[in-house]
Chains A and B, each alone.
Chain A
Amino acid sequence: MIRTLGWLSVVALVAGLVMSFGVAPREVTQGTVQRIMYVHVPLVISSYVAFIVLAVASFVYLLRRDPRADRVAHASGEIGVMFIGLGIATGSIWGKPTWGTWWTWDARLTSVAILFVMYVGYLLLRGSIDDPERAARFAAVLGIVAALDIPLVHFSVYWWRTLHQPPSLMKPGGFTGSTAILWPLLVNLVAFVILYAYLTARRARLLRAEAEAVA
């Protein structure tokens, strides 16, 4: 199953690359640099998925004390941090030629930086407590609390005046741009969600093997 997910993610990512560079048109205002959107937006949305899965798995862990739920939460947190870190990096690279700056402390960028720091803290907390049961319990609480920042990040562009543009996909009324841009974006989004599922499954399996090796 995990192997199938792995191959599926490779195929989907290659299809995403073909769509981004072969099918998607050159955007009129920004030019080719707009193609960064096809990796930036899927990375950020996949990280939201990762953090929501983390919160749900943490909730399940607190209810049932099931180590499998804790392993899913841990694995999902690690992949989520990597994805949101890459989302910030690719956004910064996109921002330099279009906004003229690598970074600005507007509401979207600040709230996403807080999200990143909270989940790095989540991973550090896990690593800093020796007792695995205690680490899992404390991390589960932090994982649920940190998820409250996700709506803040998403709606920050509506609630405050920001340099960052409004959401491309998840917005009232749906996507309003050209379908020539929508399809490459959707294919890449599916590819990154499959990649997230593959990496999380593989990391959770490794966490189980590590726990068995210690026992």
Chain B
Amino acid sequence: MPDNWSFVAAAYGVTAIVLITYWWRLVRRERELDALRNRPERRTSRQS
């Protein structure tokens, strides 16, 4: 049977892309929430 490296690359590639994308989505959402949490504090400090 031929080695079919392209199928091996496709399987590992798809897995890597999906996992990294999901991880990156988590990181981005965490940063958004952090920014949201810090915003009112800044406003309060400016007012005082």
Decide whether A and B are members of one complex. yes
Q: Does B36 contact A93, Cβ atoms closer than 8 Å?
A: no
Q: What is the 8 Å Cβ interface bit string for chain B, positions 2-40, against chain A (1 contact, 0 not)?
A: 111101101110110011001100100110010011000
A96 CA to B11 CA, complexed, in Å: 12
| A-B pairs with beta carbons under 8 A, tally | 69
Query: With A96-B7, A97-B7 known to touch, is A30 a contact of B1 (CB < 8 Å)?
Result: yes
Q: Does A199 contact B10, Cβ atoms closer than 8 Å?
A: no
Beta-carbon contacts under 8 Å, A6-37 to B? 26, 29-33, 35-36
Q: Does B22 contact A199, Cβ atoms closer than 8 Å?
A: yes
Q: Does B37 contact A33, Cβ atoms closer than 8 Å?
A: no
Q: Does B1 contact A29, Cβ atoms closer than 8 Å?
A: yes
A148 CA to B48 CA, complexed, in Å: 58
Q: Does B37 contact A213, Cβ atoms closer than 8 Å?
A: yes
B11 to chain A, nearest CB (A): 4
Q: Interface size on A (CB < 8 Å)? A: 29
Chain B residue at smallest Cβ distance from A195: B19
B15 to chain A, nearest CB (A): 5
Q: Does B1 contact A39, Cβ atoms closer than 8 Å?
A: no
Residue numbers in B under 8 Å from A82 (CB-CB): 18-19, 22
Q: Does B8 contact A86, Cβ atoms closer than 8 Å?
A: no
A209 CA to B1 CA, complexed, in Å: 52
Q: Does A209 contact B33, Cβ atoms closer than 8 Å?
A: yes
Interface centre among B1, B11, B18, B23 (most CB of A within 10 A): B11
Residue numbers in A under 8 Å from B15 (CB-CB): 39, 43, 86, 89-90
**A210 is an interface residue with CB less than 8 A from chain B:** yes
Chain A residue at smallest Cβ distance from B34: A209
B38 to chain A, nearest CB (A): 12
Give the contacting residue for A206; candidates B2, B4, B14, B30; CB below 8 A. B30
Binding site for A on B (CB under 8 A): 1-5, 7-8, 10-12, 14-15, 18-19, 22-23, 26, 29-30, 33, 36-37
Residue contacts A-B, CB under 8 angstroms, 6 given = A29-B1, A31-B1, A32-B5, A86-B19, A93-B11, A96-B7
